[in-house]
């Protein structure tokens, strides 16, 4: 075997100390421990972080687990609540409400998938709403939560959960974790970048305070500005605002005035949508909108007049363009986080994309030459993640019957990517949801949005005919009754948190 030591990456420099920077530092420090590799993270308090990003996906639990992080401690340190999914209000039609849960609807009652039986009964007017056949939805609506049963046979094992947390506190938590494992933190502003004339690789970054930090591998976590990947390497950006036009947001926290609920809420508005994300001590709110359809002041007014409690800070405005870098890994620079792209926060996918970036970087961890084929593979995997999330987000906008505002009419009539058009067509014709080999949102997620936004199959799996309508109805009644019985036995959400991750000694309401 040839001697690898000259080729091995010895120094990693991470630019940026937001959620992306500290997640990357924590994971690299943990996974590369024992190797002779230094990790340096540079962040600038003067520039600060984007300061939003409170709702997560269940995959974050894998991330925490793989680092050996204790969940209850993490929840306490970040004022986290439980998230069982997202409630969507007014998306299909004004007045509609449905849930995209972290779990499947129904259970196997015959050879066809559950939703075919439900659709058949629903077409005959005999089914309850689809969400009534899903434990996490019914639990969320009743403000209840219990950990999923570890026993796969149990009816209460087929769901998952995520967190709603204070992302800046999560950053602080991971910063301590990473520094305890040897990551060096440098406070300072990067003012220039030195590249190697021959290879075009980044050789070092220079700080305003003077001095350079050299490295073999650079991770750009500098946020929307893409300090290394774009400003220095001019990688280029694929602009997807033709597909996902929202480009601005107002964000503001408010006081808690009632049950927090173990879920995020997204309410469609005339020119975008509004989020409600409850933490232990406050509610995060935001209005995501497209400036072609509404002015900034009107967008702010829509947000401020619909807060459920007193605002706890001045509203903050954010600007973005949906899309992604043409190459997330370019030469010896990998862009993770907002520097790599942003698809808008409708399904809380950004932190998950950070996680995918880290997992793929570790899987393909390079030598000093950053072999082009490894970078190509990384870019292929990340492109797939971005494209599939884009299609799923678009589904929410295009599967609407709203006619009250130009945004909704335009989204309905726009040209869809082939990949999305096929998925909608397959479901509409025959109730089929083709499965991805990889990718974040699997059939249960697509089903929730299709049915939740009133796209129903014109015909269903013929194998449903092996049961009579009465037999199907009896099975659905049984499932629904068993779910509502289980929910009655489930503890209240905040009672669960009191024994598993309460912040502030449990006195959440006193702390803003």
- Please give the residues from 332 up to 371 whose contact with ligand FAD meets the rule CB under 6 A: 337-339, 345, 348, 350-351
Contact 501, 72 (CB under 8 A): yes
Q: Which of 271, 238, 234 is nearest to 342 (CA)?
A: 238
* 20 contributes a contact to ligand FAD by CB under 6 A: yes
DSSP 8-state symbol, 5: T
Q: Least Å distance between CB 186 and ligand FAD?
A: 9
Please give the Cα distance from 466 to 472 (Å, whole number).
10
Distances (CA, A) of 61 to 56, 151, 399, 441: 9, 18, 31, 16
Q: Least Å distance between CB 394 and ligand FAD?
A: 18
Q: Least Å distance between CB 72 and ligand FAD?
A: 21
Distances (CA, A) of 300 to 286, 297, 305: 9, 5, 9
What is the per-residue binding string for ligand FAD in 226-265, x denoting contact by CB under 6 A?
-x---------------------x-x--------------
51 C-beta neighbours (distance < 10 Å), count: 12
- State which residue, 232 or 387, has the beta carbon closest to ligand FAD: 232
Q: Which residues make Cβ contacts (< 8 Å) with residue 102, sequence separation at least 6?
A: 57, 58, 83, 84, 85, 136, 159, 160, 161, 162
Q: Least Å distance between CB 417 and ligand FAD?
A: 23
Q: Where would I find the H helices in 67-130?
A: 71-78, 114-123
The structure tokens 């933490």 sit at 279
The structure tokens 């359809």 sit at 293
Q: Phi and psi of 184, rounded to 5°?
A: -95, 125
- State which residue, 356 or 490, has the beta carbon closest to ligand FAD: 356
208 C-beta neighbours (distance < 10 Å), count: 12
- Please give the residues from 175 up to 194 whose contact with ligand FAD meets the rule CB under 6 A: 189-190
CA 492 to chain centroid, in Å, comes to 25
- State which residue, 337 or 431, has the beta carbon closest to ligand FAD: 337
Helix (H) or strand (E) segment spanning residue 381: helix 372-398
Q: Least Å distance between CB 267 and ligand FAD?
A: 15
- State which residue, 50 or 279, has the beta carbon closest to ligand FAD: 50
Q: Least Å distance between CB 509 and ligand FAD?
A: 23
Binding residue (CB under 6 A) for ligand FAD from 12, 13, 21, 32: 21
Q: Which residues make Cβ contacts (< 8 Å) with residue 71, sequence separation at least 6?
A: 61, 64, 65, 500, 501
DSSP 8-state symbol, 159: B
Contact 283, 255 (CB under 8 A): yes
- State which residue, 158 or 279, has the beta carbon closest to ligand FAD: 279
Q: Identify which range of 6-14, 221-229, 365-373, 438-446 contacts ligand FAD by CB under 6 A.
A: 221-229
Active site residue 423: no
* 303 contributes a contact to ligand FAD by CB under 6 A: no
* 273 contributes a contact to ligand FAD by CB under 6 A: no
Q: Rounded to the nearest 5 degrees, what angle is found at the Cα of 347, between the Cα atoms of 337 and 41?
A: 15
Q: Identify which range of 37-45, 146-154, 172-180, 504-512 contacts ligand FAD by CB under 6 A.
A: 37-45
- State which residue, 355 or 464, has the beta carbon closest to ligand FAD: 355
Q: Least Å distance between CB 474 and ligand FAD?
A: 41
SS3 category, 87: strand
Q: Least Å distance between CB 53 and ligand FAD?
A: 3
CA 402 to chain centroid, in Å, comes to 25
> Catalytic residue among 83, 120, 324, 423, which?
83
- State which residue, 14 or 411, has the beta carbon closest to ligand FAD: 14
- State which residue, 268 or 338, has the beta carbon closest to ligand FAD: 338
What is the per-residue binding string for ligand FAD in 41-60, x denoting contact by CB under 6 A?
-xxx--xxxx-xxxxx----
Q: Which residues are catalytic?
A: 83
Contacting residues toward ligand FAD, per CB under 6 A: 15-21, 42-44, 47-50, 52-56, 167, 189-190, 221-223, 225, 227, 249, 251, 286, 318, 320, 337-339, 345, 348, 350-351
């Amino acid at each position: 075997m040839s001697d690898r030591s000259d080729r091995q990456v010895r120094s990693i420099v991470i630019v940026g100390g937001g959620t992306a920077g500290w997640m990357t530092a924590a994971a690299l420090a943990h996974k590369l421990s024992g190797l002779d590799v230094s990790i340096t993270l540079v962040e600038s308090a003067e520039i600060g972080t984007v300061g939003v990003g409170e709702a997560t996906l269940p995959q974050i639990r894998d991330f925490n687990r793989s680092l050996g992080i204790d969940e209850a401690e993490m929840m306490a340190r970040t004022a986290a609540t439980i998230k069982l999914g997202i409630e969507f209000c007014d998306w299909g039609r004004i007045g509609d409400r449905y849930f995209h849960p972290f779990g499947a609807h129904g259970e196997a009652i015959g050879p066809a998938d559950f939703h075919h039986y439900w659709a058949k009964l629903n077409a005959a007017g005999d089914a309850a709403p689809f969400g009534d056949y899903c434990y996490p939805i019914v639990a969320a609506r009743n403000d209840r939560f219990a950990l999923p049963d570890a026993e796969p046979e149990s009816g209460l094992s087929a769901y998952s959960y995520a967190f709603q947390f204070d992302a800046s506190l999560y950053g602080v938590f991971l910063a301590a974790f990473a520094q305890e494992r040897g990551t060096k933190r440098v406070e300072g502003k990067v003012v220039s970048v030195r590249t190697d004339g021959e290879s075009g690789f980044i050789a070092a970054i220079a700080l305003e305070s003077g001095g350079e930090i050299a490295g073999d591998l650079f991770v750009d976590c500098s946020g929307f500005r893409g300090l290394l990947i774009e400003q220095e390497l001019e990688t280029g950006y694929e602009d997807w605002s033709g597909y996902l036009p929202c480009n601005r947001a107002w964000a503001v926290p408010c006081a808690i005035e009632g049950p927090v609920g173990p879920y995020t809420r997204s309410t469609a508005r005339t020119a975008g949508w509004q989020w409600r994300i409850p933490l232990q001590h406050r509610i995060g709110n935001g209005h995501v909108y497209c400036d072609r359809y509404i002015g900034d002041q009107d967008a702010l007014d829509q947000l401020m007049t619909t807060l459920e409690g007193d605002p706890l800070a001045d509203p903050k405005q954010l600007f973005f363009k949906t899309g992604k870098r043409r190459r997330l890994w370019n030469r010896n620079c990998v862009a993770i986080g907002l520097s790599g792209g942003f698809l808008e926060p409708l399904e809380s996918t950004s932190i998950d994309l950070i996680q995918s970036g880290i997992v793929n970087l570790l899987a393909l961890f390079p030598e000093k030459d950053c072999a082009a084929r490894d970078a190509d593979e990384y870019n292929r995997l990340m492109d797939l993640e971005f494209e599939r999330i884009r299609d799923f987000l678009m589904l929410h906008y295009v599967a609407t019957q709203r006619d009250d505002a130009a945004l909704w009419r335009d989204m309905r009539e726009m040209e869809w990517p082939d990949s999305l058009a096929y998925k909608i067509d397959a479901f509409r014709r025959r109730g089929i949801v083709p499965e991805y080999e990889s990718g974040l949102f699997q059939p249960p997620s697509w089903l929730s949005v299709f049915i939740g936004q009133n796209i129903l199959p014109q015909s269903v799996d013929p194998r449903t005919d092996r049961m009579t309508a009465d037999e199907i109805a009896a099975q659905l009644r049984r499932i629904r009754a068993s779910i509502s019985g289980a929910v009655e036995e489930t503890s209240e959400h905040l009672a669960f948190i009191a024994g598993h991750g309460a912040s502030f000694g449990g006195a959440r309401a006193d702390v803003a």
